[in-house]
């Protein structure tokens, strides 16, 4: 594991750095659910990007570096979970409250240190392992990162329930700005992009 993921890593039973309730609570009951911009994808089958899966597996095995996973993540499609939240209620003749309208919202988890993270998943199986009731919205990785930044989150957590959890935190704004990790001739890595981090594109 790269030290940049310290405090955000996933264990077999809970998400390190977050309370257990943050991982297992029904997301539609959470007060920090946020709206997500619309998706540009149509007819997505929910399968994971093969290159990203290989990079995540290699990273967990110690055979790939953090920048290598970022390079595979940048062009990939992710699934951001959204849930229904009550927008407006009305009271019927029987005195019972009923949903009048509802909105779909993305979910932010609050860490033990107060930081927020937006969740994203590589495929439907990874999403269902976290919450089978959540609805998947396919979005480009940069859009997921931009949504996280817009909502004040400090990280994008990919596949929080496994099998291979990955966290983008320090590089979140670069990913949101559609920068691309590139390998240098000396074997190192650098970010290549047109807009400055903080000028997220949609």
Predicted pLDDT at 97: 58
Low-confidence ranges of the chain (pLDDT < 70): 1-40, 85-104, 195-202
Residue 12 token pair: 């077999």
Contact call for residues 163 and 126 (beta carbons, < 8 A): yes
Residue 198 maps to a domain:
no
| Any domain includes 173 | yes
Tell me if 185 is assigned to some domain. Answer: yes
In the chain, the N- to C-terminal Cα span, in Å, equals 31
Residue 199 lies in a domain: no
Q: Which residues in the chain belong to E strands, given as ranges?
A: 77-91, 97-106, 108-110, 116-120, 135-140, 155-158, 166-168, 180-183, 189-192
Domain that holds residue 44: 3-192
Position 78 in a domain? yes
Structural domains counted in the chain? 1
What pLDDT score was predicted for residue 2? 45
Contact 176, 155 (CB under 8 A): no
Q: Which pLDDT value is given to residue 86?
A: 60
Q: What pLDDT, on the 0 to 100 scale, is given for residue 90?
A: 66
Residue 67 CB contacts under 8 Å (≥ 6 apart), including other chains: 181, 183, 189
């Amino acid at each position: 594991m790269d030290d940049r993921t310290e405090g955000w890593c996933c264990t077999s039973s809970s998400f390190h750095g977050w309370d257990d309730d943050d991982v297992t609570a029904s997301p539609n009951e959470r007060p920090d659910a946020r709206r997500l911009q619309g998706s540009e994808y149509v007819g997505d089958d929910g399968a994971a990007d093969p290159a990203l899966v290989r990079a995540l597996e290699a990273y967990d095995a110690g055979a790939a570096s953090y920048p290598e996973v970022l390079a595979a993540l940048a062009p990939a499609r992710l699934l951001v979970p959204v849930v229904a939240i009550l927008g407006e209620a009305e009271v019927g003749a029987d005195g019972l409250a009923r949903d009048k309208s509802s909105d779909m919202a993305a979910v932010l988890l609050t860490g033990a240190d107060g930081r927020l993270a937006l969740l994203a998943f590589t495929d439907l199986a990874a999403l269902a392992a976290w919450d089978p009731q959540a609805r998947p919205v396919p979005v480009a990785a940069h859009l997921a990162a931009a949504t996280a930044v817009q909502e004040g989150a400090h990280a994008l957590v990919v596949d929080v329930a496994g099998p291979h959890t990955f966290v983008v935190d320090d590089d979140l704004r670069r990913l949101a700005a559609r920068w691309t990790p590139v390998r240098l001739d000396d074997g190192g890595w650098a970010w290549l992009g047109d807009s400055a981090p903080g000028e997220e594109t949609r």
